[in-house]
């Protein structure tokens, strides 16, 4: 199928560039034309799909939902509405609106407020875990209102904090251990289950996915912005590494219902599986409670001759872009998907410097618009688990009916068809750091 598709695309491009040449437009050598034309998202499709159904067993087990139960009795959640407009540490001011909470006002180090603020922005299940941090006001012993969270009593609320260190690298601190035994011993108010059986707590995996999934800052010409039918959702995988220091690799497939193509849509296709990946390290060597980005990968035309994927590590990590205002969690990684094609770039400069050749060039970031915030998206993200023990496979629930996380079939963005994009599983399994 790949061969057929490439031929089709080459034919289309040949026709297209024949048109360009006939119009007297020069400056592109044939080789790069073809390179640009071969859509990199194409995938080998050899899987018949057999066996997928039986592996769907875990689909209904949505681990982080377990955390929902205590939330029901968590009446002070109402205060989250007030926290919604907050950037993290400013949130304490809003605690003043939490009537009995006056003593919190001066507490500028209240980590849990960052978590409260996060609740408003979250749409996915991990947010429910974060909701538990409503009870974390226990860190402010004087917090009377949150004492009403007695329904949650007996366990320690989940806490986390995202921040940049002095080298402009993103860190996360949390009281949730990556290891189930510690999770249980610490009586953190989340499920300590490890249903994908990789040795680390699934709630920790979900927390990591939710907080490290990047904000996507789109170009002003990006078609999905005004496409009501567009679906954007991420599928992730978190896998621990066996190293002296605690490390984990985070794979995040950025799923789009469509690649709109470049040059009048000539290379468009259903389904667009892009991705980023991170290697996180616990510099304290402990158990994932103080994570720092050690390496980052942004994929662009992955696996093609025009592969512009970049691995950032060491000093180059400081190139990564963050936003401390667009997201109420405080600090979030920002990447720049190329207009309509969605190749993911770490910086605007890297995107715009891909090429100056028409139809191969790429454009990023909203320029000259009145409402740049309208071009920001933070995708929801589900944890696919591990191949041998899948947590999420059928992607219908996130807007991609007919697509699966773990199949070898190509990803068609819920729209069906053929000549779509690389299988999601490739994005979850291929390690860009090794």
Residues of this chain that interact with Ca ion (CB under 5 A) are: 41, 194, 196, 198, 200, 202, 219, 238, 259, 272, 341-342, 363, 365, 367
Q: Closest distance between Ca ion and the C-beta of residue 273, in Å?
A: 8
Between 71 and 259, CB nearer to Ca ion:
259
User: In whole angstroms, how large is the CA radius of gyration of the chain?
Assistant: 22
Between 18 and 417, CB nearer to Ca ion:
417
Three-class DSSP category at 225? helix
Q: Closest distance between Ca ion and the C-beta of residue 21, in Å?
A: 26
Q: Closest distance between Ca ion and the C-beta of residue 10, in Å?
A: 18
- Contact of 390 with 384, CB cutoff 8 Å: yes
Between 83 and 363, CB nearer to Ca ion:
363
Quick one: which of 173, 146, 149, 170 has its CA closest to 159?
173
Between 79 and 382, CB nearer to Ca ion:
382
Q: Using CA atoms, how far apart are residues 228 and 370, in angstroms rounded to an integer?
A: 20
Q: Closest distance between Ca ion and the C-beta of residue 137, in Å?
A: 29
Q: Closest distance between Ca ion and the C-beta of residue 272, in Å?
A: 4
Angle at 376 between CA 370 and CA 379, to 5 degrees: 160
Between 112 and 347, CB nearer to Ca ion:
347
Chain-centroid distance, C-alpha 166: 24
Q: Closest distance between Ca ion and the C-beta of residue 208, in Å?
A: 10
Q: At what angle do helices 2-22 and 30-37 cross, to 10 degrees?
A: 130
Residue 12: both structure tokens together: 């289309």
Between 92 and 219, CB nearer to Ca ion:
219
Give the contacts of 308 (CB within 8 A, at least 6 positions apart): 300, 301, 343, 345, 350, 354
| H-helix or E-strand spanning residue 182 | helix 180-185
SS (H, E, C) 67-132: HHHHHHCCHHHHHHHHHCCCCHHHHHHHHCCCHHHHHHCCCCCCHHHHHHHHHHHCCCHHHHHHHH
Q: Using CA atoms, how far apart are residues 425 and 251, in angstroms rounded to an integer?
A: 10
Between 140 and 219, CB nearer to Ca ion:
219
Question: What count of residues does the chain have?
Answer: 434
Q: Closest distance between Ca ion and the C-beta of residue 268, in Å?
A: 9
Q: Closest distance between Ca ion and the C-beta of residue 251, in Å?
A: 10
Between 300 and 317, CB nearer to Ca ion:
300
Between 327 and 362, CB nearer to Ca ion:
362
Between 331 and 383, CB nearer to Ca ion:
383
Q: Closest distance between Ca ion and the C-beta of residue 242, in Å?
A: 14
Residue 153 burial (CB < 10 Å; 0-12/13-18/19+)?
A: exposed
Between 270 and 331, CB nearer to Ca ion:
270
Q: Closest distance between Ca ion and the C-beta of residue 41, in Å?
A: 5
- E strand segments, 176-214: none
Q: Closest distance between Ca ion and the C-beta of residue 115, in Å?
A: 21
Q: Up-side HSE of residue 373: CA atoms within 13 Å toward CB?
A: 3
Q: Using CA atoms, how far apart are residues 137 and 134, in angstroms rounded to an integer?
A: 7
DSSP 325-384: SSSTTS-EEEEEEPTTT--EESSHHHHHTS--STTT----S--S-S-GGGGEE---EEE-
């Amino acid at each position: 199928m790949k061969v057929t598709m490439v031929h089709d695309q080459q034919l289309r491009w040949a026709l297209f560039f024949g048109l360009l040449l006939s119009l007297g437009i020069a400056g592109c050598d044939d080789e790069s034309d073809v390179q640009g034309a071969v859509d990199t998202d194409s995938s080998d499709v050899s899987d018949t799909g057999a066996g997928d159904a039986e592996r769907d067993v875990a689909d209904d087990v949505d681990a982080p939902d377990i955390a929902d139960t205590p939330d029901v009795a968590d009446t002070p959640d109402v205060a989250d509405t007030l926290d919604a407009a907050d950037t993290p540490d400013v949130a304490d001011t809003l605690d003043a609106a939490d009537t009995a909470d006056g003593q919190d006002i001066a507490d500028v180090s209240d980590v849990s407020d960052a978590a409260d603020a996060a609740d408003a922005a979250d749409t996915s299940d991990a947010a429910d875990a974060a909701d538990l941090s409503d009870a974390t006001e226990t860190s402010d012993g004087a917090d009377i209102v949150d004492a009403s969270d007695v329904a949650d009593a007996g366990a320690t609320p989940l806490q986390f904090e995202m921040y940049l260190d002095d080298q402009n690298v993103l860190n996360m601190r949390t009281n949730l251990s990556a290891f189930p035994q510690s999770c249980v011993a610490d009586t953190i108010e989340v499920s300590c289950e490890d249903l994908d059986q990789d040795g680390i707590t699934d709630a920790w995996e979900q927390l990591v996915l939710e907080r490290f999934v990047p904000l996507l800052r789109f170009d002003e010409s990006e078609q999905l912005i005004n496409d009501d039918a567009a679906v954007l959702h991420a599928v992730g995988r978190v896998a621990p590494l066996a190293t002296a220091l605690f490390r984990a690799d985070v794979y995040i497939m950025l799923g789009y219902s469509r690649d709109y193509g470049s040059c009048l849509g000539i290379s468009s296709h259903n389904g667009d599986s892009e991705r980023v990946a991170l290697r996180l390290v616990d510099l304290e060597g402990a158990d994932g409670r103080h994570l720092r980005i050690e390496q980052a990968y942004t994929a662009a035309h992955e696996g093609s001759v025009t592969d512009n994927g970049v691995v950032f590590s060491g000093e180059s990590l400081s190139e990564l872009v963050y936003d401390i205002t667009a997201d109420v969690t405080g600090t979030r990684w920002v990447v720049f998907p190329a207009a309509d094609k969605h190749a993911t770039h770490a910086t605007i400069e890297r995107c715009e410097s891909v090429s100056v050749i028409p139809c191969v060039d790429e454009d990023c970031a909203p320029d000259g618009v009145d409402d740049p915030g309208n071009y920001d998206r933070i995708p929801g993200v589900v944890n696919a688990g591990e191949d041998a023990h899948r947590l999420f496979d059928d992607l219908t629930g996130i807007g991609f009916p007919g697509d699966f996380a773990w199949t070898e079939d190509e990803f068609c963005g819920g729209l069906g068809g053929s000549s779509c994009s690389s299988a999601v599983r490739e994005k979850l399994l291929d390690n860009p750091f090794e």
